[in-house]
Structure 1
């Protein structure tokens, strides 16, 4: 199994990654609470389109090391930096799904765009999740508190139902099977309980609005207008206004997990953007 080691001042963190294809590198950053396996329908398409595709497990998820602390976005972006540095990558496209959009923006904030040629935000939480006076379309604080309470008291029970809303399952039973829901549940259940909660705090609490100015590379923004997990008005619409050099694509009837329900449509949009 391929790992690279991120040696920090406190501990060594082993990051599991997979690396296929050749050409310009595309790094896929998975969402919460899954792993690199969530990108199954994108990896083959990107490789066959002539690109090098790298996926990895966020610390605490999949097969990567699960430290007790270090789930803030700067720590998570430092793992991405190690991947780019240790694999000696240049002219990367970094693609963040959902929570992974935060790593994209924080990486550009902390490390700049020297190694980055493009970025993509897919069903991303960027720039802000919670409802506030100046973010009225965000997720109400009570709903976020209920999620945290459920994760602390019955994590696997919460996760069992989470992905039905993730895919708007009742509307997409023709493309999402019960087996897929069970597969996602098994991946999410075996993530570190501590990582699952601490990472949720990061995506629920971090405000990236001022950091949007640091996204200077051409950026693709893709969001479904039926996303019940990350409302489009608090995420993609604001991101498109705050990132100057962007291509904004709305997938009609797309839920949060449009990487599976609308995989062909997303793949075409993403690969067209990569080839530009």
Structure 2
């Protein structure tokens, strides 16, 4: 594997991958604890930082990336630690650590006036980033099917899975992760998609580390952002499928109540996977919000 150091700086470098005869180059950013975080940095113009859902990687935004590049934006797709091409350390899968990783990406790439999009678990991480690191480099926030303000049911919050159901998901992951992912995929989309496309999406999740998948599922189960959401101070668009079986639409309503300067764009024909269920509407809505 060839490693190129850019400008003599070891914290931000590029690796070239040979995959199925195609050369692929991506940037790696070093996190505070030394973990190497893979970033796909393509295009120019205003940066749009894309945070993927559990347990995929930034490639889930393939069709959004194409639309952003066509419209003249800079696509910044991040693979969390434990996912995609990033390192997979034994720890650091809580929202605060992953938000710190995102802060290092934004800081080391010297991003300014960036839009931040968080899908599903990425929505929780995006919110934690803004709460912990501020909004000086972020101009707009997009929460798409966000697993927030809380993913699991608790007192005063009767929405989503129970903690026991997430524990069962974790147990299934330990027993037969590919089978768990196949079952999870069956509730992910509302619309019918081709077998090659659903297999491609499944493969994104299979590529994740098993321990990263488990430990971030624990974070999903336990994190609670309700009391802090009023501190979010950037314009926020909430995209949410009305037929979402993973993060029910009530999540969007709770976020809209708590986040100042936010609005909901309901996707009537989408499940959790709005990026593919109503792909053209998603892209058009995103681009209109970015203008």
TM-score with structure 1 setting the length: 0.94
Contact residue 5 and residue 12 of structure 1 kept, 8 A: no
Please list, as runs of the form range in 1=range in 2, the aligned pairs for 1:98-177 lying within 5 A after superposition.
98-168=120-190, 172-173=191-192, 176-177=193-194
Indicate the residue corresponding to 2:270 in structure 1. Answer: 254
DSSP 3-state at the match of 2:56: coil
Match status 1:199 vs 2:216:
yes
Distance 2:209 2:233 in 1: 34
In proportion to residue count, which structure has more strand? 2
Q: Does 1:70 align with 2:101?
A: no
Partner of 1:227: 244
Aligned equivalents of 1:87, 1:138: Cα separation in 2: 36
Query: Which among 206, 209, 234 is matched to residue 217 of structure 1?
Result: 234
Offset of 1:5 from its aligned partner? 3.1
Find out whether 1:244 has 2:257 as its counterpart: no
Q: What is the rounded CA distance, in whole Å, between the counterparts of 1:86 and 1:32 in structure 2? A: 25
Distance 1:211 1:263 in 2: 31
Residues 142-184 of structure 1 show CA distances to partners (whole Å, capped at 9, x for unaligned) of: 322211111121111111221121013xxx22xx111122112
Stretches of structure 1 lacking an aligned partner (at least 5 in a row):
none
Structure 2 residue ranges without an equivalent (≥5): 1-24
| Shift, 1:7, TM fit | 4.4
Contact 1:132 1:138 in 2 (8 A): no
Residue 21 of structure 1: aligned partner: 43
Residues 1:181 and 2:198 are matched in the alignment: yes
Distance across 2 between alignment mates of 1:110 and 1:125: 18
Deviant stretches of 4+, over 6 Å? none
Q: Distance in 1 between matches of 2:49 and 2:206?
A: 24
Please state whether the residue corresponding to 2:281 is helix, strand or coil: helix
Q: Is the 8 A contact 2:160 2:246 kept in 1?
A: no
Superposition deviation, residue 133 in structure 1: 2.3
152-161 vs 108-117, which moves further? 152-161
For the aligned residue pairs, the C-alpha RMSD in angstroms reads 1.2
Corresponding position of 1:269: 285
Higher relative contact order (CA 8 A, sep 6+): 1
Q: In the comparison of the two structures, how many residue pairs are matched?
A: 267
Alignment of 1:13-52 (within 5 A): 13-52=35-74
